[in-house]
Structure 1
Amino acid sequence: MHSLRGRTMGTSIDWEGNIGSAPEFKEFANGNKDPRRLLRLNVYFDNSIPKSDGTGFEDRGGFWANVEFWHKDAEHYANVYQKGMRVLIQGRAVMDTWTKDGEDFSALKV
């Protein structure tokens, strides 16, 4: 990720996939202001390729990624999205990194 005059730049994406678990909605206290809202989805982005024998498609190279919506988007989509739904996600892909129990982890997040 590069920074340009205080702006962060990531990879813009248009990915289609399926929500793999129940969406997780959270609210966080924000002083005297409205609470901050977060909706987190776990989405499987498949890569369907036609089978060589012409009998359909197979998934090659699909992957899971966390998708986050914040503020008003979080509140709106919390009432729309459900496990199993097919969704088109447009956003910015970033690599999220963290350490837990002394071990480093990373995961793709949109």
Structure 2
Amino acid sequence: MSSFNRIILLGNLTRDPELKQLDSGQSVCRLGLAVNRQYKNSQGAMVQEVCYVDIDLWGAQAESSNKYLEKGRLVLIEGRLKLDTWETDGQKRSKHSIAGERITFMPVSGNSQSSDFESAKNNSFATASVDQSARAIRTAPKTPRTKKTTVDMKNSGEINLPDAQPFEDDLPF
């Protein structure tokens, strides 16, 4: 029987990233993540439940995370669940953690009154708010579409294209 081990978490960092270099030269970064869940209990009161998870990132993602992230920042983590085991004072210990395979730095909200968790909850990923100063993408002006042209293809494999106007090079960059 096959199995599936995939996890996706959205939460805030509980501490600054910790970057380490292994003897092999490989970079590993450990993050602490708080994932919140709000629900109504049986009395109708809102309850907030917090789950704390350790995340390990490797390679270039580890280095980028260490460079650009800090405590409190909202991130989306995709990875797999793993079980870490060790022995302390003769007792076997274990805990679950996440082997991060992909990290997405979520937009920083401009409103300092609300938490990043609240802003992410109120915005979908497709319409997440982005600082206007950070928006460096400019869109090209829309040009009206011209009529469709047909391509004449003979049995010989040759394609006869109709004469077309040259491409206008009005790229915004």
Instruction: Provide the TM-score with structure 2 as the length reference.
Output: 0.49
Listed as ranges, the gaps of 5+ residues in structure 2 are: 99-173
Equivalent residue for 1:45, pick from 24, 28, 35: 35
Instruction: Assess, with a 3 A threshold, how the Cα gap between structure 1 residues 102 and 29 changes in structure 2: closer, same or farther.
Output: same
- Mapped to 2, the partners of 1:77 and 1:10 lie a distance apart of 27
The structure carrying a bigger helix percent of its residues is 2
| Kept in 1: contact 2:17–2:65 (CA 8 A) | no
Residue of structure 1 in register with 2:18 after alignment: 24
Deviation at 1:50, TM superposition (A): 4.4
Taking the aligned partners of 1:96 and 1:70, their CA distance within structure 2 comes to 16
2:80 is matched with 92
Between structures 1 and 2, the one with greater strand share: 1
For normalisation by structure 1, the TM-score amounts to: 0.74
Q: Comparing 42-51 with 78-87, which one deviates more in the overlay?
A: 42-51
Aligned 1:1-110 pairs, distance under 5 A: 11-30=5-24, 35-50=25-40, 52-53=44-45, 57-60=46-49, 62-110=50-98
Identity score, percent = 25
More relative contact order in 1 or in 2 (CA 8 Å, sep 6+)?
1
Gaps of 5+ in 1: none
Number of residue pairs matched?
96
Specify the SS of the correspondent of 2:68: coil
Q: Distance in 2 between matches of 1:66 and 1:43?
A: 6
Letter in 2 for 1:37: S
8 Å Cα contact 2:83/2:97 also seen in 1: yes
Partner of 1:47, secondary structure, is: strand
Deviations 1:62-91 (A, max 9, x none): 321110100111111111211111221111
